[in-house]
Amino acid sequence: MPAVSSSAHDSGRALTGVGFKLFSVLCLMAMAASVKALGGAVPPGQIMFFRGLVAIAVIAVLAWRTGGFRLLTTRNWRAHAARSLAGSLSMFCWFISLTMISLAEMSAISFTVPLFVTLLALAFLGERIHAYRWTALAVGFAGVLVIVGPDLFASESAALGKGVGLMAAVFAAFALMFLRRMSGSEHALTITFYFFVTSSALALLTLPFWPWPMPTGEQWLLLGMTGVFGVLGQLAMTWSYHYAEASLVAPLDYLNLLVATVIGFYVFDEVPHPSTWVGAPLVIAAGVIILWREYRSLPRNARAEPLSAGEKGL
């Protein structure tokens, strides 16, 4: 009888984790749609700034209720600076890319982050890459060429948008690499707090070069939605890894492509290029192989540890 009760409890936690993950996918894609709806009328730096303000306020309240504001103190300034700078540059590039390409194409390109993480681990950490990873990288980057290739000569704007999207993925990979070095010693709220403080400060630096207009009422609403959906998505993502193992919830990230396609079609009249549907499965397959092998190499007691909200909230 206790075994049945324990099994039911584990199943309940798994379902809760899946529920949080699905909610996270919807919220983060709603945030991306809000950025896209601004259509470039509001500069990416201005969007970053207001999104950061909302996030800082929410994180400060959570820290106060969790362990007091001392939770946000740190001595690891250099690590925070490196991780936050890379993450802020990634966010800036994502926001620019969203004004040039469809939501589905942006989502497909975001799946390249695990590929770049693997390459960075080889280049900077000296990690050994076995045959299965080289195969995954080859398949994944073949998918990238399929996605990006048709626009290289056909559409300058789309080619630039996809190029900026790939830059965002590279910066996100750097942020993840820095984060993995510090996640064992820093609280998730601390990491996320300094990320948004940094991104907001850097956003202010864009003001002299990319003037901020006074938003209209609709634009204020979209800016608020960007901040609210972003924070809700990050928190739900973090809680999903708290309740369920990474092997269960991580693959649900790939539902982003389906959600992005639906939102893009019904809200923005976007129809993804056929190359996206050919290349995306290759990139997804490569990412799944890498994630699965990384999961298999983890100690059993580390497989259900939650990721930082900042790790996926770039």
Q: Kindly give the confidence (pLDDT) of every residue in the chain, 314 residues in length, as a single tens digit, with 9 standing for 90 and above.
A: 445 455 655 667 778 888 888 898 899 999 999 999 998 889 999 999 999 999 899 888 888 887 777 878 777 788 888 888 999 999 999 999 998 888 988 888 888 888 888 888 777 766 676 777 778 788 888 888 887 777 666 667 777 888 899 999 999 989 888 877 775 667 777 888 888 999 999 999 999 888 899 999 999 999 999 989 988 888 888 788 778 776 677 777 888 888 888 898 888 888 877 878 888 888 888 877 777 666 666 555 444 444 443 344 44
Q: What are the phi and psi torsion angles at 68 (to 5°)?
A: 85, 165
Structural tokens at position 234: 């990050």
Count CB atoms within 10 A of the CB of residue 60.
15
Q: 77-80 — which CB contacts under 8 Å span 24+ positions? A: 79/178, 79/181, 79/182, 79/186, 80/182, 80/186, 80/191, 80/194, 80/195, 80/198
Burial class (CB in 10 A: 0-12, 13-18, 19+), 266: exposed
Residue ranges of domains in the chain:
10-312
Distance separating alpha carbons of residues 308 and 184, to the nearest angstrom: 11
Count CB atoms within 10 A of the CB of residue 207.
13
Q: Give the Å distances, CA to CA, from 247 to 91, 173, 282, 289, 308.
A: 26, 20, 20, 12, 16
Can you give the pTM of this predicted structure?
Answer: 0.83
**Which positions ≥6 away from 286 have C-beta within 8 Å?**
114, 115, 136, 137, 139, 140, 141, 143
Structural tokens at position 92: 């800036």
